[in-house]
Structure 1
Amino acid sequence: MLATASNGSDRGMTTGEPAAPVRRTWAEVHERARRMAGALDVAPGTAIAVLAAEPAVIAPAVQAAWLCGGSVTMLHQPTPRTDLAEWAEDTLRVLAMIDSHLVLLGSPFDALAAVLDQHGVPYKLLSELDAEPIAAPVPTPEDATALLQLTSGSTADPKAVRITHRNLMANAEGMRIAAALDPTSDVMVSWLPLFHDMGMVGFLTVPMLFGLELVKVTPVDFLSRPTLWADLITRHRGTITAAPNFAYAIVARRLASSSDAFDLSSLRLALNGAEPIDPAAVKSFVDAGARFGLRPESILAAYGMAETTLGVAFAPLFTGLSVDVVDADALEAKHRAVPTEGGRAFPLLGPPLEGLELRVVSDEGAVLGVRDVGELQIRGEAVTPGYLTVDGPLATQDAEGWLSTGDVGYIVEDGQVVVCGRRKDVIIMGGRNIYPTDVERAACSVEGVRPGNAVAVRLDAGTQRERFAVVLESKLAGDAEAEKDLVKQVTARVVDAVGLRPFAVVVQPPGTLPKTPSGKLRRSAAAGLV
Structure 2
Amino acid sequence: MSRFSETMYGNALSSRNGMTTGEPYAPVRHSWHQVHQRARRVAGGLASAGVGHGDAVAVLAGAPVEIAPTAQGLWMRGASLTMLHQPTPRTDLRLWAIETASVVGVIEARAVIVADPFMAAAPLLTDLGIQVLTVDQLLAADPIDPVDTGEDDVALLQLTSGSTGSPKAVRITHRNVVSNAEAMFAGANYDLATDVIVSWLPLFHDMGMAGFLAVPMYFGAELVKITPMDFLRDTLLWARLIDKYKGTMTAAPNFAYSLFAKRLRKQAKPGEFDLSSLRWALSGAEQVEPADVEDLCAVGAPFGLRPEAIVPAYGMAETTVAVSFSECGTGLVVDEVDADLLAVLRHAVPAKKGKTRRLACLGPALRGMEVRIVDEDANVVPSRGIGVIQVRGESVTSGYVTVGGFIPAQDEHGWYDTGDLGYLTENGHIVVCGRVKDVIIMAGRNIYPTDIERAAAALTGFDRAARRRFGCMRDTGGRASRWWSSPTPGRTRPRCDGWSTGLPTRCSRRSMFDRERWSWWLPAPSPRRHRANCAARMRSR
Question: Structure 2-normalised TM-score?
Answer: 0.87
Distance 2:11 2:154 in 1: 25
Deviation, 1:7, is 7.9
Deviation, 1:9, is 4.3
Deviation, 1:212, is 1.1
Residue 25 (structure 2) aligns with = 19
Residue 207 (structure 1) aligns with = 216
Verify: 1:396 aligned to 2:402, yes or no. no
1:323 to 318, 334, 337: 334
Verify: 1:418 aligned to 2:431, yes or no. yes
Deviation, 1:230, is 0.7
Contact kept in structure 1, 2:56 and 2:107, CA below 8 Å: yes
| 1:27 alignment partner, SS class | helix
Residue 297 (structure 1) aligns with = 308
1:197 to 199, 203, 206: 206
1:32 to 31, 35, 38: 38
AA matched with 1:237: K
Contact kept in structure 1, 2:12 and 2:220, CA below 8 Å: no
AA matched with 1:196: H
Contact kept in structure 1, 2:60 and 2:83, CA below 8 Å: yes
Q: Any idea what the Cα deviations from partners look like across 1:162-218, whole Å, max 9, x if unmatched?
A: 001101100011101001111101111111110000100111011111111111111
Residue 469 (structure 1) aligns with = 482
Contact kept in structure 2, 1:245 and 1:281, CA below 8 Å: yes
Q: Any idea what the Cα deviations from partners look like across 1:237-258, whole Å, max 9, x if unmatched?
A: 1111111122111111110123
| 1:257 alignment partner, SS class | helix
1:429 to 439, 442, 445: 442
Distance 2:284 2:94 in 1: 34
Aligned CA distance change for structure 1 residues 132 and 312 (closer, same or farther; 3 Å): same
Verify: 1:94 aligned to 2:118, yes or no. no
When Rg is computed on C-alpha atoms for both structures, the one with the higher figure is 2
Contact kept in structure 1, 2:79 and 2:155, CA below 8 Å: yes
2:191 to 169, 176, 182: 182
Q: Any idea what the Cα deviations from partners look like across 1:212-239, whole Å, max 9, x if unmatched?
A: 1111111111111111111111111111
Contact kept in structure 1, 2:56 and 2:109, CA below 8 Å: yes
Aligned CA distance change for structure 1 residues 333 and 415 (closer, same or farther; 3 Å): same
Q: Any idea what the Cα deviations from partners look like across 1:100-126, whole Å, max 9, x if unmatched?
A: 020111111122111112111101110
Contact kept in structure 2, 1:8 and 1:25, CA below 8 Å: no
Residue 78 (structure 2) aligns with = 69
Distance 1:78 1:381 in 2: 34
Verify: 1:344 aligned to 2:357, yes or no. yes
RMSD between superposed Cα atoms in Å: 2.4
| 1:148 alignment partner, SS class | strand
Residue 93 (structure 2) aligns with = 84
AA matched with 1:23: R
Deviation, 1:280, is 2.3
Deviation, 1:283, is 2.0
Deviation, 1:16, is 0.4
Deviation, 1:288, is 1.4
Aligned CA distance change for structure 1 residues 48 and 464 (closer, same or farther; 3 Å): same
Distance 2:474 2:322 in 1: 31
Residue 381 (structure 2) aligns with = 368
Contact kept in structure 2, 1:163 and 1:309, CA below 8 Å: yes
1:314 to 325, 346, 364: 325
List aligned pairs for 1:504-519, cutoff 5 A.
none
Distance 2:465 2:284 in 1: 15
Distance 2:167 2:461 in 1: 35
Residue 228 (structure 2) aligns with = 219
Distance 2:44 2:156 in 1: 20
Residue 53 (structure 1) aligns with = 62
| 1:280 alignment partner, SS class | helix
Q: Any idea what the Cα deviations from partners look like across 1:73-110, whole Å, max 9, x if unmatched?
A: 00010001111122111111111110102011111112
Contact kept in structure 1, 2:275 and 2:304, CA below 8 Å: yes
Distance 1:458 1:477 in 2: 27
Distance 2:183 2:474 in 1: 38
Residue 119 (structure 1) aligns with = 128
Q: Which runs of 5+ in 1 are unaligned?
A: 510-530
Distance 2:453 2:485 in 1: 9
1:133 to 117, 139, 143: 143
Deviates more, 1:66-75 or 1:257-266: 257-266
Contact kept in structure 2, 1:472 and 1:507, CA below 8 Å: no
Deviation, 1:3, is 5.0
AA matched with 2:197: M
Aligned CA distance change for structure 1 residues 44 and 433 (closer, same or farther; 3 Å): same
AA matched with 2:453: E
Q: Any idea what the Cα deviations from partners look like across 1:22-80, whole Å, max 9, x if unmatched?
A: 00000100111011101111220010111100000000000000000100000010001
List aligned pairs for 1:438-457, cutoff 5 A.
438-457=451-470
Contact kept in structure 2, 1:425 and 1:435, CA below 8 Å: yes
Residue 536 (structure 2) aligns with = none
Deviation, 1:6, is 8.1
Verify: 1:103 aligned to 2:112, yes or no. yes
Residue 527 (structure 1) aligns with = none
Residue 512 (structure 2) aligns with = none
AA matched with 1:399: E
Contact kept in structure 2, 1:449 and 1:473, CA below 8 Å: no
Distance 1:320 1:456 in 2: 31
| Overall identity of the aligned pairs, in % | 51
Verify: 1:355 aligned to 2:355, yes or no. no
Deviation, 1:346, is 0.8
Residue 171 (structure 2) aligns with = 162
Residue 239 (structure 2) aligns with = 230
1:278 to 275, 281, 289: 289
List aligned pairs for 1:479-498, cutoff 5 A.
495=501
Aligned CA distance change for structure 1 residues 146 and 475 (closer, same or farther; 3 Å): closer
Contact kept in structure 1, 2:56 and 2:79, CA below 8 Å: yes
Aligned CA distance change for structure 1 residues 9 and 355 (closer, same or farther; 3 Å): closer
Q: Any idea what the Cα deviations from partners look like across 1:339-395, whole Å, max 9, x if unmatched?
A: 111411110001111011000111011111111111111111000001011111100
Deviation, 1:447, is 3.6
Aligned CA distance change for structure 1 residues 235 and 7 (closer, same or farther; 3 Å): farther
Contact kept in structure 2, 1:249 and 1:281, CA below 8 Å: yes
Distance 2:427 2:506 in 1: 40
Contact kept in structure 2, 1:468 and 1:503, CA below 8 Å: no
Deviation, 1:475, is 8.0
Deviation, 1:468, is 1.1
Distance 2:147 2:419 in 1: 37
Contact kept in structure 1, 2:481 and 2:503, CA below 8 Å: no
AA matched with 1:301: P
Question: Structure 1-normalised TM-score?
Answer: 0.89
